[in-house]
Amino acid sequence: MLIRRSEAGVLVWAPAKVNLFLEVLRRRDDGYHELTTLMLAVSLFDVLDFQDYPDDTTRLQCSDESLSTGPDNLVFRAAELLRQHCGCRRGVSIRLWKRIPMAAGLAGGSSDAAATLAGLNCLWQLGLRRAELAVLGAELGSDVSFFFSTPAAWCTGRGELVQPVALGRPLDFVLVCPPVGLSTAQVFRGLTVPEQPLDGNEIRRAVSAGDCAAVGRHLHNRLQVTAENLCPEVSFWYQRLRRLGSVGQLMSGSGSTVYALCQDPAEALRIARELRSFREERASSRVYIVRSSK
């Protein structure tokens, strides 16, 4: 994430993520699933503006009126958690501009929560280290901690145990976001845990080596078949992307976003242009050209 401080307050750009690999190992006693995943931050951002407020409350405004701005919002919860953790009595006014689609497998809410922890740590001059903020983030959601280890990380447990991975070269993508989202809980309920999970070692080596072709060969998401059964739009766009000849294609997270991994920015531009004819059939789907990002 990118943090900028000004006289008025603090601005934070919160990136989306894609999963290059996602395997499910088992169902845990606490109801979650044990998984391994390789996540990568990409250049599609929400923007959050943090400014001091005269009392010790949190005020949240959002550009998307369909999104709750009350205590159930992850941004609101992150602010309250940090205030309680540090015993801070300062108030904050937060404005959130949403660009990352919701319920799309891109972790926009988790990224916003991480941005709130980082932004308020800066605004309130709390002096917490990234590792401390990541621990707090794990209390808010499985993906939150990842955003303190961008651009790439290998995540285990339910996703909250994060090991940074070296990124050998920038990676380019075209994202297709259907208008319908998917419930993560519903996708996991329909999942059959494999008897012999994949280990992901090949794709980790390929990412660190900067071997884009090898990354494409080893893309994997155990949740994709279940998501395709729940949402035909996922299968529709995945098949369209396969026909366009990119390095690789995959669904991100629990869906519904699918992406093409591209050899370079020129290939990403070509694929995005060719998608225009398909979008006539699915006009409300959104297409983004992105690159790996901090």
> Do 117 and 80 contact (CB within 8 A), yes or no?
no
- The answer to whether the CB of 197 falls within 8 A of the CB of 25 is yes
Give me Rg for the CA atoms of the chain: 19
Query: What does the alpha-carbon distance between residue 60 and residue 65 come to, in Å, rounded to a whole number?
Result: 12
Rounded Cα distance between 229 and 156, Å, is 26
- CA-wise closest residue to 235 among 197, 290, 180, 190: 180
Say if strands 10-27 and 220-221 run parallel, antiparallel, or are unpaired: parallel
DSSP state, residue 252: -
DSSP characters for 35-54? EEEEEEEEEEEEEEEEEEES
63 is written with which tokens? 């550009």
**Cα gap 98→75, rounded to integer Å:** 12
Q: How many Å apart are CA 171 and CA 177, to the nearest integer? A: 19
**Annotation says 17 is catalytic:** yes
> Among candidates 249, 247, 236, which has minimal Cα distance to 285?
236
The pTM is what?
0.95
In the chain, which stretches have pLDDT less than 50? none
Give residue-wise pLDDT tens across range 236-252: 999 999 999 999 999 99
Query: One-letter amino acid identity for 194?
Result: P
What local confidence, expressed as pLDDT, does residue 30 receive? 87
Domain residue extents for the chain: 2-164, 172-291
pLDDT at residue 150 in the model: 96
Distances, alpha carbon 202 to alpha carbons 62, 162, 212, 262, in Å: 41, 18, 12, 18
Maximum Cα–Cα distance for the chain, whole Å?
56
Supply 91's token pair. 């108030």
Q: What is the pLDDT of residue 283?
A: 64
Please name the fold of domain 2-164.
Ribosomal Protein S5; domain 2 (3.30.230)
Does 98 participate in catalysis according to the annotation? no
Secondary structure (DSSP) of 66-134: TS--STTSHHHHHHHHHHHHHT---EEEEEEE--SPTTSSS-HHHHHHHHHHHHHHHHTT----HHHHH
pLDDT digits 0-9 by tens, 255-269: 999 999 999 999 999
The answer regarding whether domain 172-291 maps to CATH 1.20.140.10 reads no
- pLDDT at position 32 is 87
Contacts of 104 (CB under 8 A, 6+ apart): 177, 181, 182, 252, 253, 255, 256, 257
Q: What is the pLDDT of residue 279?
A: 57
Write down the catalytic residue from 17, 46, 98, 172: 17
- Alpha helices per DSSP H over 143-281: 184-189, 201-209, 212-217, 224-230, 232-243, 265-279
Task: Find the catalytic residue in 46, 98, 112, 143.
Answer: 143
